[in-house]
Structure 1
């Protein structure tokens, strides 16, 4: 048990100290028990590097590829045949502005292959299929 506890403390210390080195000047930093990159994924760019972002009072993360910061939308993998997108006259912005994911208000919206708005988990980027489902107790 003693070995297990010391391993956790060492892992936390390493994570915490590396996070401090990435904090920008004037940033309100938060202490997190778990590195936010542990469950974060960027399926579109498997070489992207996840870096914890403790600024702004939250345990967040950012992905970087070739030195450039990626948005969460840029990490979502699309499997659209080219022919599907040719017939859609709506922009992603207009589709997402007209639709919501009631059960997951923090979801990331994207236009899919069939010109509809789809919503993704902001951390794992997995697609939600229950945005407007009604749950009964």
Structure 2
């Protein structure tokens, strides 16, 4: 993965974190230090691993950790969606249609998928380079 792609991954992850922080602020108060904090930590860890994986001396192990942490972020967001936390606003759950919640969840899931595709491409590129070196 060239520098250009790494910069693109970095930018996409920053956008995801900004959007997540905005939506997590609407989660119910009783989840502020629970699932909300777990999601935030997983997003920050993913970003930190992206930075660490750009260093060649730790790339192999870090890319594996990055892939796992990204998947954990995906699962935590899915759990929050299943629990209906993306439909909360001002400490109460909206009684009307869940359009806002679905729109928020869909936006975040698309952003997570986009970051995941970039991570997957980086891993494949690294494996291809390593395979070519061995031959």
Scaled by the length of structure 2, the TM-score of the pair is: 0.26
TM-score of the two chains, using structure 1 as the length reference: 0.26
Q: Which has the larger radius of gyration?
A: 1
